[in-house]
Chains A and B, each alone.
Chain A
């Protein structure tokens, strides 16, 4: 490993999160960059090894399931944190709260009066074709009228330095345990830099999550029974499910551990009999939570769960049907949704979006496929996308056909020049593209993580940050410059 020399570090054409220009760190990154530059090559290598050892020891893994074999892979982690000044984060925090509040009002409206459609702000045809709208949820009232209790929104920064919201994950967003573990690893590896209290702590998440879940209990006053429902060890996020259960001190259950009685209440099977369950943080997709209502072959859910939920005997987080707003076409309407419900201008910008369902947009998309990123409405994890500037003529022709066949299912956005952050690659410090996933909790009140999970595309030039496709992650520091 060679010594870090920031004079040689250049992220050409991109906004870099730490380095303004070669040799010049941003004010919030000065201490870190100075510290790293003062390490000799051997010390730097030792820091990297220390992080790897910590990750192995702590058993931080994610699961890859291939050809019948289950592999727990060590979590790919980069020791160089990504830094955001507190001043900027406060605005982002407010923008996220505003956004998720409006989205929850939108979901609640869609399952009740659909005023936004009647008022002509949101097209009925978009809803009619939404694969995540659940007719089974119409008319149901949820605690605090909240549907998306846990939201993970992906933020990216363009070359002009603006943070955009790229998407909102309202179904079963994951990654928060890695945000917490990344901080634990970094504290072990770079303890010197935490002295002085400028770096805002992140470890309040699990208690906030517990309080939020408890606020949903149908039996207020009691000490509520909260459980996490996991699909089981073959799920790629099983580590996270087990981690959150252990941190909150709640039971980690699988479908067969629960049952719904004739009184339409949910019970868990304990060694001394059945015990009523009040709140289920479910990490199982809508379609699998109740074979009585959704996928009848599901072995992951609980028969009768929807019955119990409809009667208000159990709270589900996130509520079934919340995914209706987790749709890349609905996304394009979020600025209007915020204006409609809150009478406010969005504090955080959307990436400009073209909806192929509208003729004018579609024409523009088909004519500019080589410049745009085309996404299917309901895929997650970066699958099924066309990245125009990196595509072949053949791929573009294929996507043109797909769009014409099912225009509702596609939307397009200009390619953003995703920001970079210094990353230890091999034995060099190199710029790699990053995004940021903060988590927003909504119950009685709203709460946003301090920062979030920074994901990094470890392959040079790559924009794909998903861990299933070669992405890694970094600790995210919100730094208070006033504390200097």
Chain B
């Protein structure tokens, strides 16, 4: 399999998962806000903070009200993580890999992109918000279903799986971050009456409420939910489960040792998490999420180095170095290939 095609396929899966999980992130926030009492000083501002795009947002929007945040997160092309940008990037990556991916998948992604473009064009009002986010999530699930049922078990599927699972692990931790990012009152007494509601909405946004009840069989409690979403081996959207499936895809590929080591690091940091402390102290949870995201970046870097990097980046024999360097300077300015970041 060509490195360029592998890279495009990997990013296709990341962007699709990012679109879906961004929709889930917005969904958890709106449900959380609806359940909280009026005086609580909570809002949409934290969503922007979580994405790390305060500067970009403040440059273009005067206030962090619901309408602005929704517009930014759903349909602003200047923000590369918006739903529209993600789908557009997924579509571009798919366009150059149509020869390896079944045609129906292209058609579904293409149609979803065109629909989303049209809908954000006419504005995402709070009233239409849930329906819009729900449609995005469902369309992404349709694509995943098509992949599941029509794509052969080849390297193409392995790279799709790497992209999807890494993005999912990353986004699940970000969704947990909503819970931590100064979103909630500091004093435990303030928190208690609404804690259950809040953790429930986190679970529901990840379609995990029923599965949680089956696995945990206890009333909803912070530490249990956190443990479920971080360490449960069986729930598909938990971080541990995503890493497990990523590792399974990785071992089908050649030269997987370096990347597999990084997966191991992620898993160890995950296993060592002191769940009770993280659930009680939002700042600690936030710091933990930061750390594990650094692990994810290193895992991504290992995948990139092993499979996508041009050989002149150091992986090949010395005798070929000079020629390769010349080719590299050319390819880096190449016009037509992948979009990522």
User: Which residues of A approach B to under 8 Å, CB–CB?
Assistant: 58-59, 231-234, 242, 245-246, 251-257, 259-262, 268-274, 291, 299, 302-304
Name B99's contact: one of A246, A259, A260, A303 (CB within 8 Å).
A246
Query: Which chain A positions have C-beta within 8 A of B337?
Result: 232, 254, 256
Asked if A274 contacts B327 (CB within 8 A), the reply is no
Interface residues on B, range: 35 or more
Asked if B3 contacts A257 (CB within 8 A), the reply is yes
Given contacts A262-B323, A303-B323, contact A255 B330 (CB under 8 A): yes
Residue of B nearest to A274 (CB): B311
Query: Which chain A positions have C-beta within 8 A of B106?
Result: 59
Asked if A260 contacts B155 (CB within 8 A), the reply is no
Bitwise interface map of B from 304 to 328 toward A, beta carbon under 8 Å scored 1, else 0: 0011101100011001101110110
Asked if B96 contacts A59 (CB within 8 A), the reply is no
> In the complex, how many angstroms separate the beta carbon of B114 from the nearest chain A beta carbon?
12
Name B330's contact: one of A59, A261, A291 (CB within 8 Å).
A291
B107 contacts the other chain (Cβ, under 8 Å)?
Answer: yes
Given contacts A271-B6, A273-B316, A304-B323, 9 further A-B contacts (CB under 8 A): A232-B335, A234-B336, A256-B327, A256-B331, A260-B323, A269-B2, A272-B253, A272-B254, A303-B323
Query: Which chain B positions have C-beta within 8 A of A58?
Result: 103
Q: How far is the CA of A255 from the CA of B328 in the complex (A)?
A: 11
Q: How far is the CA of A52 from the CA of B35 in the complex (A)?
A: 51
Query: Which chain A positions have C-beta within 8 A of B311?
Result: 259, 269, 273-274
Query: Which chain B positions have C-beta within 8 A of A271?
Result: 1-3, 6, 155, 159, 253-254, 306-308
B37 contacts the other chain (Cβ, under 8 Å)?
Answer: no
B333 contacts the other chain (Cβ, under 8 Å)?
Answer: yes
Please classify the interface of chain B as helix (H, G, I), strand (E, B), loop, or mixed, using the class held by over half of its residues.
helix
Query: Which chain B positions have C-beta within 8 A of A254?
Result: 4, 334, 336-337
B255 contacts the other chain (Cβ, under 8 Å)?
Answer: yes
Q: How far is the CA of A269 from the CA of B330 in the complex (A)?
A: 15
Asked if A234 contacts B335 (CB within 8 A), the reply is yes
Asked if A299 contacts B2 (CB within 8 A), the reply is no
B95 contacts the other chain (Cβ, under 8 Å)?
Answer: yes
Name B316's contact: one of A245, A253, A257, A274 (CB within 8 Å).
A274
Residue of A nearest to B324 (CB): A259
> In the complex, how many angstroms separate the beta carbon of A314 from the nearest chain B beta carbon?
14
B186 contacts the other chain (Cβ, under 8 Å)?
Answer: no
Query: Which chain A positions have C-beta within 8 A of B6?
Result: 271
Residue of A nearest to B106 (CB): A59
Asked if B255 contacts A232 (CB within 8 A), the reply is no
What are 26 residue pairs bridging A and B, where the CB atoms are less than 8 Å apart in the complex? A231-B336, A232-B337, A234-B336, A242-B98, A242-B99, A246-B99, A251-B2, A254-B334, A254-B336, A254-B337, A256-B327, A257-B2, A257-B3, A259-B311, A259-B327, A261-B319, A269-B4, A271-B2, A271-B155, A271-B253, A271-B306, A271-B308, A291-B330, A303-B323, A303-B326, A303-B330
Given contacts A271-B253, A302-B327, contact A232 B319 (CB under 8 A): no
Q: How far is the CA of A259 from the CA of B4 in the complex (A)?
A: 13
Residue of B nearest to A261 (CB): B320
Asked if B95 contacts A272 (CB within 8 A), the reply is no
Q: How far is the CA of A233 from the CA of B95 in the complex (A)?
A: 8
Asked if B333 contacts A253 (CB within 8 A), the reply is no
Given contacts A232-B335, A255-B331, A256-B334, contact A262 B319 (CB under 8 A): yes
> In the complex, how many angstroms separate the beta carbon of B248 from the nearest chain A beta carbon?
17
Asked if B323 contacts A270 (CB within 8 A), the reply is no
> In the complex, how many angstroms separate the beta carbon of B305 from the nearest chain A beta carbon?
12
Asked if B254 contacts A257 (CB within 8 A), the reply is no
Q: How far is the CA of A246 from the CA of B106 in the complex (A)?
A: 15
Asked if B323 contacts A299 (CB within 8 A), the reply is no
Residue of B nearest to A256 (CB): B331
Query: Which chain A positions have C-beta within 8 A of B155?
Result: 271
Asked if A256 contacts B99 (CB within 8 A), the reply is no
> In the complex, how many angstroms separate the beta carbon of A379 from the nearest chain B beta carbon?
24
Query: Which chain A positions have C-beta within 8 A of B335?
Result: 232, 234, 299
Asked if B333 contacts A299 (CB within 8 A), the reply is yes
Bitwise interface map of B from 250 to 261 toward A, beta carbon under 8 Å scored 1, else 0: 000111000000
Asked if A273 contacts B315 (CB within 8 A), the reply is yes
Residue of B nearest to A242 (CB): B99
> In the complex, how many angstroms separate the beta carbon of A309 from the nearest chain B beta carbon?
15
Name B255's contact: one of A261, A262, A272, A274 (CB within 8 Å).
A272
Q: How far is the CA of A260 from the CA of B325 in the complex (A)?
A: 11
Asked if B3 contacts A255 (CB within 8 A), the reply is no
Q: How far is the CA of A213 from the CA of B308 in the complex (A)?
A: 29
Q: How far is the CA of A231 from the CA of B107 in the complex (A)?
A: 24
Query: Which chain A positions have C-beta within 8 A of B326?
Result: 303
> In the complex, how many angstroms separate the beta carbon of B55 from the nearest chain A beta carbon?
28
